[in-house]
Amino acid sequence: PLSSDPFRPEWHYSAGKNWLNDPNGLIHLNGTYHLFYQHNPSGDAWGNMSWGHSTSADLLHWEEQPVAISCDGNEAIFSGSVVFDPDNTSGFGTPGKPPLVAVYTSAYTDASPLRGRQAQSLAYSLDRGQTWTKYVGNPVLDRTSANFRDPKVFRYDGPAGSYWVMAAVEATDCVVVLYRSANLKDWEYLSSFGPANATGGDWECPDLFPLAVDGDPADTKWVLVVNLNPGGIAGGSGAQYFVGTFDGVHFRSETTVTEGLQPDGSRMPDYAWLDRGRDYYAAVSFNDAPGGRRIMIGWMNNWDYAGKTPTKGWRGAMSLAREVTLTRLPSGGVVLRQAAVGPFDGLDGAPDVRRISLGSRELHPGTVDLLAPDSDAAVGDAVSTAASAAARIDVEIEPGTAARVGLLLRTGGAERTVLAYDTATSRLSLDRRESGAVEFHEDFASVEDVHVPLDAGRLRLQVHLDACSVEVFAQDGLAVLTDLVFPAESSTGMALFAEGHGARVRTLDIRRR
């Protein structure tokens, strides 16, 4: 049973007890999604880094498993990945019993002869991830570097052959290094990528995967995800990505922005980011997700204040899982679109799900309280008695001539988190300055924003609320804003608002329990 805490998420994974950071070893095997993660088994602050473990059939309901790989006197177990080795290339299994192989970073302690170094090591499981054995030949890849970490290993099958590829970072150099292997034990250097685009901090937790642009296999591109801390777009930790090609040896970016002023005179080039909020970091994707889907999870946090968030007995949660696809914009650019693997998906009609819908209506200047509405709105009854803060809002708004439109979220007393669209600047902002507890860290109170062009005059938003988070997917996932918030448990109100005349709500759906 989870400790009771008003901030304990309902739909986001958090460890039953103690500290959690990066998702590790994301893999799907025989109908089960495995989520390993950076975990301190004995405290709610970062330390004793080990791999926690949780499993799920649907990416929404998680079952915590015993700690998978533990730190010892010689090494902390930093971030990495897991592969399924069906042909037993590693020799850790037997033909009838292929292994799961974890590739993790050994961060050597002062007690180790390798003190101060970070190198890549293996552990394997012959019981579908329940128990793990460290390989006696560790480390398997050592560059004598103090900042070589976060290996993402995947199977490459392409024109250049069929082998394991590892993407890892030389973090402080802002470089991704690529290696290949036939057996996961012997690694051959392939190439390096970077520095490029955002380099305002350490490069961490890379990922490299192919995706068909708009579903066309003949138009496949490779995406290189590079998490960055600090130097993220919203301050502190952030996740950037590059789109390009990978020939089995080199990743070549087609989205590297060269130095200098932008055409519009702005200084900060508009790099590609997975999320424009403050709390989506160390994002990586699942290996072997069914149907060739590419599903990512990030740590819903920011190193700026991760150690100070006001939770009790546990600290840190994952984002919702997000399916990513590549799409070509009318401008020709190829970008990622993200869709939450959504709470409430497929739950319409379930006895404990309350759904309200609002048809097309004018949005007058002012606010429409969605839980205790004015008479003509008449939407609130079904959701006002909701049992938790978790909710999903799907709304399509036509801002028209209004100056600002949007949603007030998690309202109650003086608390509110404001999601606003500014028609003059075409920017969508998420303002958590009055969201609840913000004073636990001086950098927490903030406003994030992102440029969001209207689509035929319309703004589509999908908003996921949970006990301590807001995730906003705009224009069907072309822009995403994720922020932690820590409101009172009773602040479950929500409202629509407009400043100025001429706005319309086309559709609105709220789902709660």
Looking at the Cβ atoms of 78 and 124, the one nearer to ligand FRU is: 78
Looking at the Cβ atoms of 76 and 391, the one nearer to ligand FRU is: 76
Q: How many residues lie near ligand FRU (CB under 6 A)?
A: 12
Q: x/- site string to ligand FRU, residues 77 to 106, per CB under 6 A?
A: -xx-------------------------x-
Calpha distance 166→176 (Å, rounded): 10
CB atoms within 10 A of CB 155: 16
- Shortest distance, CB of residue 300 to ligand FRU, whole angstroms? 12
Looking at the Cβ atoms of 116 and 292, the one nearer to ligand FRU is: 116
Identify which of 166, 201, 171, 205 has the alpha carbon closest to the alpha carbon of residue 183.
166
Residues between 171 and 230 with contacts to ligand FRU, criterion CB under 6 A = 204-205
Looking at the Cβ atoms of 205 and 459, the one nearer to ligand FRU is: 205
- The amino acid at residue 352 is D
Q: x/- site string to ligand FRU, residues 376 to 415, per CB under 6 A?
A: ----------------------------------------
Looking at the Cβ atoms of 35 and 211, the one nearer to ligand FRU is: 35
- Shortest distance, CB of residue 103 to ligand FRU, whole angstroms? 12
Structural contact between residues 429 and 415, judged by C-beta atoms closer than 8 angstroms: no
Looking at the Cβ atoms of 102 and 494, the one nearer to ligand FRU is: 102
Structural contact between residues 223 and 285, judged by C-beta atoms closer than 8 angstroms: no
- For residue 489, the Cα-to-chain-centroid distance in whole angstroms is 24
- Shortest distance, CB of residue 225 to ligand FRU, whole angstroms? 13
Calpha distance 52→357 (Å, rounded): 40
Structural contact between residues 51 and 37, judged by C-beta atoms closer than 8 angstroms: yes
Place of tokens 């036939």: 182
- The amino acid at residue 158 is G
- Shortest distance, CB of residue 153 to ligand FRU, whole angstroms? 15
The answer to whether residue 150 forms part of the interface with ligand FRU (CB under 6 A) is: yes
Which of the following is catalytic: 5, 22, 72, 466? 22
Q: Dihedrals φ, ψ of 505, to 5°?
A: -95, 125
- Shortest distance, CB of residue 215 to ligand FRU, whole angstroms? 32
Looking at the Cβ atoms of 78 and 273, the one nearer to ligand FRU is: 78
The answer to whether residue 279 forms part of the interface with ligand FRU (CB under 6 A) is: no
- Shortest distance, CB of residue 236 to ligand FRU, whole angstroms? 11
Identify which of 318, 397, 385, 326 has the alpha carbon closest to the alpha carbon of residue 354.
385
- The amino acid at residue 136 is V
- The β-bridge relationship of strands 354-358 and 75-84 is unpaired
Residues between 34 and 53 with contacts to ligand FRU, criterion CB under 6 A = 38, 49
* Binds ligand FRU (CB under 6 A): choice among 13, 22, 296, 486: 22
Which residues lie below 8 Å from residue 120, measured CB to CB, with a gap of 6+?
Answer: 80, 103, 104, 105, 106, 139, 140, 141, 142, 148, 151, 166, 168, 187
Identify which of 348, 205, 355, 357 has the alpha carbon closest to the alpha carbon of residue 285.
205
- Residue 447, Cβ density class (10 Å: 0-12 exposed, 13-18 middle, ≥19 buried): middle
The answer to whether residue 68 forms part of the interface with ligand FRU (CB under 6 A) is: no
- Shortest distance, CB of residue 92 to ligand FRU, whole angstroms? 23
* DSSP conformation letters of 294-312: -EEEEES--TTTGGG---S
- Shortest distance, CB of residue 482 to ligand FRU, whole angstroms? 16
- The amino acid at residue 479 is A
Calpha distance 387→395 (Å, rounded): 22
Looking at the Cβ atoms of 36 and 78, the one nearer to ligand FRU is: 78
* Binds ligand FRU (CB under 6 A): choice among 149, 180, 185, 460: 149
Q: Look up 22 and say whether it is catalytic.
A: yes
Calpha distance 298→14 (Å, rounded): 12
* Binds ligand FRU (CB under 6 A): choice among 282, 295, 465, 495: 282
Calpha distance 111→58 (Å, rounded): 42
Binding residues for ligand FRU, per CB under 6 A? Answer: 21-22, 38, 49, 78-79, 105, 149-150, 204-205, 282
Q: Among all residues, which ones are annotated catalytic?
A: 22
